[in-house]
Amino acid sequence: MKAEKSALRKEMLVRRARLRKKTKNEYDQWICRSLWELIQRHNYRTVHTYLPIGTEINITPLINQMLAAGIEVICPKTLPKRQLENRVLYSMDQLENGPFGTRHPAGSEIFPGQYDLIIVPGLAFDEHQNRLGYGGGYYDRFLAGYAEARTVGICYPFQKKNTIPLEAHDVQLNMLVCPPDSIS
C-alpha cells in the first residue's frame, strides 16, 4: 500500500511540474471561479485554505477575493508532530516562511472556531472524493476534528483517478472541484 501511494505521489508531482504554464493558468482560473461560486452560493463566511507553493493550484486570486469580500480566511502553519496551527489571514502581504517551503500568516492569532468550508490540497483524488496527500498525514489529522465543515478537494484533470490506494486513517472529502480536460 505504501509503495503504491509513493509511486502515485511521484507520478503526480512529475505530471504537475510538466503542466504547460498556459494550461495551468487556465485550470487555476477555472478552479478559482468555481470555488468562488460555491462560496457565494452557500454564503460561506469562514474558509480554511492552504497557501499555494511550488506547482500547487494557485488559488491566490480566490484568497484575495475572499479577503476583499470580508470572508474570514484561515490558513495553516505546519507544526512538528504532523499538526497544523490555524491562523487568521488578514493580508497576503503578511506571511512568514515555514517548513517544507510552506508559508503561513504572520503573527500569532490562532483561530479557535469552526469552519464553513475547508479547501484541501492534494496530489490525487478519486471519484468518491478520497484524497492522496503528500504523505505527512497533516490534513487527515486536521479534518478528523472538523466533521461538520464542508470539505472540498481541488485538482487538475490528470490528478483525478478512478480509485486511489486508501488506508484506515484517510479522510474522505465532501466534494471535488476539477476542471474538464479542455476548458478553452
- pLDDT tens digits, 55-111: 999 999 999 999 999 999 999 998 888 788 999 999 999 999 988 888 999 987 899
Residue 140 counted as domain residue: yes
What local confidence, expressed as pLDDT, does residue 140 receive? 87
Q: What single DSSP character describes residue 110? A: B
What local confidence, expressed as pLDDT, does residue 182 receive? 72
Residue 184 counted as domain residue: no
pTM: 0.94
Total tally of structural domains belonging to the chain: 1
Residues 10-55: tens digit of each pLDDT: 999 999 999 999 999 999 999 999 999 999 999 999 999 999 999 9
- Check whether 135 has a pLDDT greater than 60: yes
Residue 183 counted as domain residue: no
Angle between helices 60-68 and 21-42 (to 10 degrees): 30
Residue 101 counted as domain residue: yes
Q: What separation in angstroms does the CA of 40 have from each of 45, 61, 65?
A: 9, 15, 11
Residue 100 counted as domain residue: yes
Cβ contact 127:159 at 8 Å: no
Residue 112 counted as domain residue: yes
Range of the domain at 87: 2-177
* First-residue to last-residue Cα distance in the chain: 37
Residue 182 counted as domain residue: no
What local confidence, expressed as pLDDT, does residue 92 receive? 95
Q: What is the mean pLDDT of residues 121-126?
A: 94
The CATH number for 64's domain is 3.40.50.10420
Q: What single DSSP character describes residue 66? A: H
What local confidence, expressed as pLDDT, does residue 131 receive? 94
What local confidence, expressed as pLDDT, does residue 12 receive? 95
Question: 11-21 b/e with 16+ CB inside 10 Å = b?
Answer: ebeeebeeeee
Residue 83 counted as domain residue: yes
Q: What is the mean pLDDT of residues 148-169?
A: 92
